[in-house]
Chain A
Amino acid sequence: MKKFLCVFMTLILCLGAFTGCGGSKSSGENGTLYVYCFGDYFDPDLQYEFEEKTGYKLVVDLFDTNEEMYPVIKNNTADYDVICASDYMIEKLISEDLLDEINYDNVPNAENVADSIKPFMEAFDPGMKHSLPHTWGTYGIMYNKSMVDEEIDSWDVLWDQNYKDKIVMPNSLRECYMIAAKKLGYSMNTADESQIQEMTQILIDQKPLVYSFANDSAREIMIGDSAAMAVITSGEVIYSKEYNENLEFVIPKEGTEVWTDCWAIPKAAKNKEAAEAWINFMLDGDTAETNFEYLTYAIPNKLIADKMDEAVLNPSKDLLDKCETLRNLGAEADDIYSRYWKKYKAE
């Protein structure tokens, strides 16, 4: 009997560990909406506004990276009704049949989506059937006017020996290769090994000039005057300029990466209508404005387009024509990139 108790307790505890997200579902007059989103990615006040307007109770869980979110959705370890994910991850989720199609009848605000973003959405989600955009941006060069005298307009400046030990590069594989690809005039989504090899070579040539590889901390390094230029996303510019007025941002003329973070509904969603109500709410003009003021990331919404300054957040069509969006290349190409990336990092 005692032995049985021991085994029983073990089992109960194990079960408890696996059902952590089960929870009660009946709170909120119209049910509960489970949102899975990047940390701090919408104004927290909007949560109460949404709950008041729609009668759904909102439960928000957070993650840091797409790669962290992916296994949760893939293995269906928790029932989320709506998720936020980046372009290439949306493509991957669609290709594995993990996303439901959005019913546009329930999302009338979808017409607010800015036209400039549509060609990029088209690339990873044809017809925007499975996703609608939340934020978008480009990568560009942020530089410190007190350390850079010239006019910067090209990726070539990152290879300029004058800025040795003064350049911050992104600490992420695809963004580094994007820079090399744009400099050489290749597609950032190439899977051609000889092109990848050539890009690796010019990156290795440039590596002695790099002060550090940084993602989130890049803006702090720039604000603190510790480097002359950093490759950074356009959403960080307003924030950084507030703290250091010498900082300027430019999108290089060769084109760059346009990234989009989107809302999507997993196949396993229990409350699809609530999810659509959430997406509709996020695409509303007032919500978009609140989010823009809170995040300072560009929001692709027609109704607030005039609030985005052209040089940073709303690039011209000519420039956008030269930009690309990150595609999911599949395991084989990922492995080739990984192999060369590790060589580059080991240099």
Chain B
Amino acid sequence: MSKKIFSGPFLAFMLCGTIIPLGVIAYYGITDRSGAFTFENIKAITTGEHWEALMLALMLALISTVICLLIAFPLGLILKDSKLGKKGFMVFIFILPMWMNFLLRTMAWQVLLEKNGIINQVLGFIGLPSLHIINTPAAVVLGMVYDYLPFMILPIYNALIKIDKNVIEAAYDLGAGFRQVLQKVIIPLSVPGIVSGITMGFVPSLTTFAVSNILGGGKVNLIGNIIEHEFTTGSNWNLGAGLSLVMMIFIVISMALIEKFDRNGEGNII
């Protein structure tokens, strides 16, 4: 019974930080400017520009998630068996950039990638052709990978270090090669971490507008940019909220995925 007192702050946080804002968004989403009930704001996702922006966002988020996974899983394997210093130190190095503001890190990439930026000056100096990815979807994917990679590494690393060494050794003793051990033992046992890593990277990539604005030079128009536009310059909060509600579907899907694969909470970051 006495535990209930301590749950007070959490209840307050959930109420103020989640339930009330969600309610307000839902209210704006299903009303028009005059306050009358309508589904138009939600149906608006199917109109040309919105649909295109959603598809582009889905595609870029998918690409960046796959790249993150291709980097994070082998890295997790390496870190797991790493003899370098204390366990966790290498992981710490990979989380270190998160101590800096994410906008600053993205702007730093802009300075690096600009047509006459640092990377191109260095390339020019050593006589290599210059790199032209700034203000293209490629730069946006780069930004997404850089920003969200730590979110992928942590849960995968956590899932991997929890695998009992004896299980792996047993597999080798019974004659399995590295590939078989990977396929039949390590990957199946790290699925919870992989799934939560994927959702932690995919959802923020899907809804970002800052990365596409800064590294896409305003030329890569994602659904996040459209929602931001509606809330600011467009001053049509109802449409912005309606589109946000549609985006919530993807969050619900990813939560359902975590629920399905990660019942024991093994892939949690902490």
Interface residue ranges, A against B (CB under 8 Å)? 2-3, 5-10, 13-14, 17, 65, 67, 169, 171-174, 210-214, 217, 220-221, 224-227, 331, 334-335, 338, 341-343, 345-346
Q: Is B4 a contact of A14 with CB atoms below 8 Å?
A: no
Taking a contact as CB atoms under 8 Å apart, the answer to whether A211 and B217 are in contact is yes
Taking A6-B4, A174-B233 as known contacts, 16 extra A-B pairs with beta carbons closer than 8 A to each other, sorted by chain A number, are A10-B8, A10-B15, A212-B217, A212-B218, A213-B217, A213-B218, A213-B219, A214-B217, A217-B214, A221-B114, A331-B33, A334-B234, A334-B235, A338-B234, A338-B236, A346-B49
Residue ID in chain B nearest A8 by CB atoms: B8
Say whether B97 faces chain A, with CB atoms less than 8 Å apart: no
A227: chain B residues at CB < 8 Å are 115
Cβ–Cβ contact A346 & B217, under 8 A: no
Counting chain B CB atoms within 10 Å of each CB, the highest count among A6, A17, A67 belongs to: A6
The residue among A7, A10, A217 with the most chain B CB atoms within 10 A of its own CB is: A10
B226: A residues at CB distance < 8 A: 342
* Alpha-carbon separation in the docked complex, A173 to B117 (Å): 27
Interface contact A224-B117, CB-CB below 8 Å: yes
Query: In the complex, which of the residues A14, A214, A338, A346 contacts B12, with contact meaning CB atoms closer than 8 Å?
Result: A14
A105–B49 CA distance with the chains assembled, in angstroms: 53
Q: Which of A13, A172, A212, A214 is the most central at the interface, judged by chain B CB atoms within 10 Å of its CB?
A: A212
The listed residue (A9, A17, A173, A334) touching B236 by CB distance below 8 A is A334
List B residues at the A interface (Cβ < 8 Å): 1-2, 4-5, 7-9, 11-13, 15-16, 33, 48-50, 52-53, 107, 110-111, 114-117, 134-135, 213-214, 217-219, 221, 225-226, 229-236
Query: Quick one: closest B residue to A328, CB to CB?
Result: B235
Inter-subunit contact A14/B16 (CB<8 Å): yes
> Which chain B residues lie closer than 8 Å to A210 at the CB level?
219
Inter-subunit contact B234/A2 (CB<8 Å):
no
Whether B11 contacts A346 by the Cβ 8 Å rule is: no
* Shortest CB distance B93–A (Å): 30
Check B114–A224 contact: CB distance below 8 A: yes
Q: How far is the CA of A2 from the CA of B12 in the complex (A)?
A: 16
3 tightest Cβ-Cβ pairs between the two chains A and B: A213-B218, A212-B217, A9-B8
Determine the residue in chain B with the shortest Cβ distance to A18. Answer: B16
Chain A contacts for B48, CB-based, 8 A:
343, 346
Find chain A residues with CB under 8 A from B8 CB. Answer: 5-10, 13
Contact B9 A13 (CB under 8 A): yes
Asked if B5 contacts A6 (CB within 8 A), the reply is yes
- Are A171 and B213 in contact, CB atoms less than 8 angstroms apart? yes
Q: In the complex, A227→B117 CA distance in Å?
A: 11
Q: Complex Cα distance A8/B231, Å?
A: 35
Residues of chain B lying within 8 A (CB to CB) of residue A3: 4
